[in-house]
Amino acid sequence: MLWDLKKVFLTEDEVQYAEYDMDLSEMELNGGAPFKTPVKVKAKAENRAGVVDLAVTVKFGYAAPCDRCGEETITPFESSFKHTAVQSLVGENEDDYLEAPDFTLDLDAPVTADILLSLPSKHLCKEDCKGLCPKCGKNLNEGECGCDMREIDPRLEVLKSLLQE
Domains of the chain, residue spans: 2-126, 130-165
**Which position has the higher pLDDT, 48 or 157?**
48
Percentage of the chain with pLDDT > 90? 36
* Residue 86 φ/ψ, nearest 5 degrees: -135, 160
Mean pLDDT of 7-30: 90
Predicted confidence band of residue 154 (pLDDT cuts 50, 70, 90): confident
Task: Find out whether 64 and 30 touch, Cβ atoms under 8 Å.
Answer: yes
| pLDDT value of position 18 | 94
65-102 per-position pLDDT tens digit: 999 999 988 888 999 999 998 877 776 666 678 888 88
| pLDDT value of position 58 | 96
List the one residue out of 8, 22, 12, 15 whose CA is nearest residue 105. Answer: 8
Mean pLDDT of 135-158: 83
101-125 per-position pLDDT tens digit: 888 888 999 999 999 999 888 889 8
Q: Is the pLDDT of residue 37 over 80?
A: yes
Percentage of the chain with pLDDT > 70? 95
Integer distance in angstroms from the first to the last C-alpha of the chain?
76
Q: Is the pLDDT of residue 145 over 80?
A: yes
Find all residues with CB under 8 Å of 156, minimum gap 6, and list them. Answer: none
Q: What is the rounded CA–CA span in Å between residue 20 and residue 38?
A: 9
